[in-house]
Chains A and B, each alone.
Chain A
């Protein structure tokens, strides 16, 4: 196979020190590339008498992380079974990776020595990118890069695998022989050489071609197969095949095609609620709130609450303001029965906050807001957000609401048209907080923090005037937080 013109020990030393080994007919020397004078190096490189390579005995093959399937593009490296310098055989385990519940053992495709590990444990490895570098042992075939190859059950005796690369330079052969090999798409390394110094002759190529045309006998079971011996049919005489196509994966939801599925679960519940809500004659009332003083207030308070590990947004204050306003307008905190024949004025202010969770839209409610302080509300909202994100909200939290709020402004938007959740009678949607120019009392243009609110109410029960007055009261609390202090119970 590849003939060596420097000794093995010298080669190893060079490799470890990342030196370039230059071989040639007349010069056997080891030049440290780092220190080589530029002119000498150029001369050496350009000279047709020499060729240099960092590998003498075998090629270094970059082993890419093969496709695991299911559209997975990256995995975590969990354990390495090899170190740099270890020898691996084909089908030995190299490492274990994990991707979202699937634990995959990656096995080597070649015989050789590990030269480089591209990742450490717990790193994220990308599919299709290099995983390890393997220096091929002499005679080890290098096959083309990743894909599910169906004839991977070829036995270990068969060193001439499918899809070989054509790197004939390491083998000694005359140009005529090389041309013949190239015309017939044969890798010179696979041809048994009978010439002097391991030279491949024309007769060798011709007899190799003749051998390829006759079918070979079935080979014994390969060592990677399970212990129970199974007769593996040897693949027919191989011709170098083109790059196999990656296996087609069945996507759960095909891109670009129609897809129908039954509506179930939370979405089904939402269908039911919204269909009921469609029977409610709703009116809308919108306004904008000057939140400038509230922004300042929150800036002061935020530090205190966050040191206690509680995230403080504007919601706790808004919710408390709603509760204070509901005290003056208890009709907005009522529920009606399906036929709108009876109205129940609820004593407890159970304010529901619409949440977008991985499972869908849920509206858990903070119970008895009228008895809670703003800090208590903040703690409760934090808790419900954590539970909602984890999908762990209980029935008690999801039912019993008397008034709802939707903070759609967190995602975006100004005015909205929220849909009432029966049996409640009103709902509010808060837009995003924006800095906008407004006129102050003196007629000057100043920048103010403005938030839009959109109320929807059941017109069978609530009059427009009631809603407007409620909104004005609530707005006054938010624009003058001191007023909240005055009326807080």
Chain B
């Protein structure tokens, strides 16, 4: 495997003139990152050794918030096990299949940059260019990557007007997003080289589309194709190598690709705090912009109609209006109780399970039992959390 080959740290060439002992080299490998700050101040290529989406996003945020980029540019690359990443101002329920992701064990994360929703797995390379604000230039970064890939493989890649990298003029292989702060900025994008397309389509198919009004950023769907379909030698390791070296080459500096552990508190103090926030429900779902759903269900068998209007704020039910045209008092009581109990509940399986559980209805008339069960099912369907 390429990544285990020993890469001679740059500073050894500059500072040390004797052969290092095994112990020293081991210690130096651990300190490689902080040392290289001084030896190669202007440009760095970092690659993550973990495939946990929250850890990788936490490190990217750490670099953006804490690192001084006045005279430095960083290219950070990583890959994740299957997960879905939504933009800062997106609505996860509208962008992907939230209950299905839970069942399949696919992580859902919200990043701090804008843009649309993407599916990640090990066949998806993420690149993040962290630079100071005066150097922020998305087009330049994408052109760099296109030049790097086209110079090594014979693929028809270009950057289109929406700043997506398109393959053969038709297929999107990359989605881009960026974040600008007071001094630091980053521009990151994905690169599909061998992603599982069926999983992608399953994950990004939202069941909660009907009757929803939302001002959240919507994703633009496009046809995709994997780079490995053009040339099977394109994979994570080769892409990291090619893009990393192109980055150094265009900067006109010598440098090595650094493999780092994003969880290492000694190099990145405070990164675990970012990770904890990234994993929390409040960040992932609570940051959803306001939206509302308006559904009507009709049952010919029972001869009733149900109207369900819910307003959601910060991922919680802010207002619920459940009206059933069945005139019996028990049903009306049930809908009123349901309305009251749903208020303030988080739109997540655990919270809603308690409210929408099946009650004991044996004391009721058969028709009413059916109506109440049907109302329950409709609510489950409308709220789409897979209760």
Q: Which residues of A contact B (CB under 8 A)?
A: 68-70, 78-79, 91, 96, 98-105, 107, 121-122, 148, 150, 153, 224-228, 230, 247, 250, 252, 262, 264-269, 358-360, 390-392, 394
B307 within 8 A of A: no
Residues of chain B within 8 A of A267, CB atoms compared? 169
Chain A residues contacting B156 (CB-CB under 8 Å) are 264-265
- CB-defined contacts of A265 to chain B, threshold 8 Å: 156, 158, 160, 166, 168-170
Question: A228, B67: Cβ atoms under 8 Å?
Answer: yes
User: CB distance A391 to B178 under 8 Å?
Assistant: no
CB distance from A185 to the nearest CB of B (A): 28
Contact of A390 among B66, B88, B182, B222 (CB under 8 A): B222
Closest-CB distance, A346 to chain B (whole angstroms): 26
Pairwise interchain contact B169-A264, C-beta atoms closer than 8 A: yes
**Contact, CB under 8 Å: B177 / A103:** yes
Please state if A98 and B89 are interface contacts (CB–CB under 8 Å): yes
Query: Does A391 lie within 8 Å of B114, measured CB to CB?
Result: no
**Chain A residues with Cβ under 8 A from B270's Cβ?**
227
B183 contact set on A, CB distance < 8 A: 153, 224-226
- A228 near B66 (CB under 8 angstroms)? yes
Q: How far is the CB of B213 from chain A (nearest CB, A)?
A: 12
Please, how many angstroms separate the alpha-carbon atoms of A122 and B216 in the complex? 9
Instruction: Please judge, given known A-B contacts A226-B67, A230-B68, whether A103 and B88 are in contact too, CB under 8 Å.
Output: yes
Contact assessment for A98 and B169 in the assembled complex, using a CB-CB cutoff below 8 Å: no
Residues of A close to B136: CB separation below 8 A: 69
Which residue from chain B places its CB closest to the CB of A268 in the assembled complex?
A: B169
Contact across chains for B223 and A78 when beta carbons are under 8 A apart: no
Tell me if B178 and A121 are in contact (CB < 8 A): no
Considering the chains assembled together, what is the distance between the CA atoms of A360 and B138 in angstroms?
Answer: 24
Instruction: Give the distance in Å from the alpha carbon of A359 to the alpha carbon of B221 in the complex.
Output: 14
Q: Residue B170 contacts which of A148, A228, A247, A359 (CB distance < 8 angstroms)?
A: A359
CB-CB under 8 A for A227 and B169, given A103-B178, A121-B289, A391-B223: no
B176 within 8 A of A: yes
**Docked-complex contact B289 and A102, CB < 8 angstroms:** no
**The residue from A70, A226, A264 contacting B138, defined by CB atoms under 8 A apart:** A70
B158 near A264: Cβ-Cβ < 8 Å? yes
With beta carbons under 8 angstroms apart, the residue of B158, B169, B178, B215 that contacts A102 is: B178
Q: Determine the main DSSP class of A at the interface with B.
A: loop
Collect the chain B residues with CB atoms within 8 Å of residue A104's CB. Answer: 179-181
A153 to B169, CA, bound (A): 44
Known: A69-B136, A252-B139. A226 touches B158 (CB 8 A): no
With A68-B180, A392-B223 known to touch, is A122 a contact of B289 (CB < 8 Å)? yes
Measured CB to CB, the closest approach of chain A to B65, in angstroms, equals: 7
Which residue of the partner chain, among A98, A107, A228, contacts B88 with CB atoms under 8 Å?
Answer: A98
A329 to chain B, nearest CB (A): 34
A103 touches B68 (CB 8 A): no
For A392, the chain B residues whose CB sits under 8 A away are 221-223
Contact present for B88 and A78 (CB under 8 Å):
yes
Q: How far is the CB of B162 from chain A (nearest CB, A)?
A: 8
Closest to B139 in A: A252
Pair A103/B112 contact, Cβ less than 8 Å:
yes
B70 close to chain A: CB less than 8 A: yes
Docked pose: A121 CA to B65 CA in angstroms:
24
Provide the residues of chain A in CB contact with B137, threshold 8 Å: 250
Interchain CB contact under 8 A, A103 and B289? no
B115 contacts the other chain (Cβ, under 8 Å)? Answer: yes
> Across the interface, which residues of A come within 8 angstroms of B163, CB to CB?
101
Other A-B pairs beyond A102-B113, A122-B289, 16, CB < 8 Å: A78-B289, A79-B89, A102-B138, A103-B113, A103-B178, A104-B181, A105-B180, A121-B289, A225-B183, A228-B67, A264-B158, A264-B169, A265-B166, A360-B169, A392-B222, A392-B223
Chain A residue, CB-CB nearest to B159: A252
Q: Are B169 and A105 in contact, CB atoms less than 8 angstroms apart?
A: no
* Cα distance, A241 to B265, chains bound together (Å): 44
The complex places the Cα of A250 from the Cα of B134 at a distance, in Å, of: 12
B141: chain A residues at CB < 8 Å are: none
Q: List 27 A–B pairs whose Cβ atoms lie within 8 Å, in order of A's numbering.
A: A91-B182, A98-B88, A98-B114, A99-B114, A101-B87, A102-B113, A102-B178, A102-B179, A103-B179, A104-B181, A105-B182, A107-B181, A122-B215, A148-B133, A225-B68, A226-B183, A230-B68, A230-B70, A250-B139, A262-B158, A264-B158, A265-B156, A265-B158, A358-B161, A359-B160, A359-B169, A390-B221
CB contacts (< 8 Å) of A228 on chain B: these are: 66-68
User: What's the nearest-Cβ distance from chain A to residue B10, in Å?
Assistant: 21
Q: Which residues does chain A contribute within 8 Å of B168, judged by CB atoms?
A: 265
Complex: how many Å from CA A69 to CA B221? 26
The answer to whether B217 has its CB under 8 Å from any CB of chain A is: yes
Asked if B170 contacts A102 (CB within 8 A), the reply is no
B21 within 8 A of A: no
Contact with A along B223-261 (1 / 0, CB 8 A): 100000000000000000000000000000000000000
Question: Can you name the residue of chain B whose Cβ is closest to the Cβ of A360?
Answer: B169
Chain B residues contacting A99 (CB-CB under 8 Å) are: 114
> Given the complex, which residues of A lie within 8 Å of B139, measured CB to CB?
250, 252
In the complex, the chain A residue whose C-beta lies closest to that of B67 is A226
Q: How far is the CB of B171 from chain A (nearest CB, A)?
A: 9
Residues of A within 8 A of B221 (CB): 390, 392
* B328 lies within 8 A of chain A by Cβ: no
Q: Are A226 and B68 in contact (CB under 8 A)?
A: yes
Complex alpha-carbon distance, A194 and B349, angstroms: 68
CB distance B182 to A98 under 8 Å? no
CB of A227 to closest CB in B, whole Å: 5
**How far apart are A93's CB and chain B's nearest CB, in angstroms?**
8
Compute how far the CA of A250 lies from the CA of B135 in the bound complex, rounded to whole angstroms: 11
Q: Is there a chain A Cβ closer than 8 Å to B266's Cβ?
A: no
A96 to B112, CA, bound (A): 11
B329 located at the interface, meaning its Cβ lies under 8 Å from any Cβ of chain A in the complex? no
Chain B 278-295 against A: per-residue CB contact (8 Å), 1 yes, 0 no? 000000000001000000
Q: Note all chain A residues with C-beta closer than 8 A to B169.
A: 264-269, 359-360
Most buried by A among B87, B158, B184, B270: B158
A390-B89 contact in complex given A102-B179, A227-B66, C-beta closer than 8 Å: no
A103 pairs with B215, CB closer than 8 A: no
Find A101's partner among B68, B177, B184 (CB 8 Å cutoff): B177
Q: Name A224's closest neighbour in chain B (CB-CB).
A: B182
Contacts of A69 in B (CB 8 A): 136, 180
Q: Please, how many angstroms separate the alpha-carbon atoms of A148 and B135 in the complex?
A: 12
Minimum CB–CB distance from A244 to chain B (whole Å) comes to 13
Q: Which residue of B lies closest to A265 (CB)?
A: B169
Find chain A residues with CB under 8 A from B160 CB: 265, 359
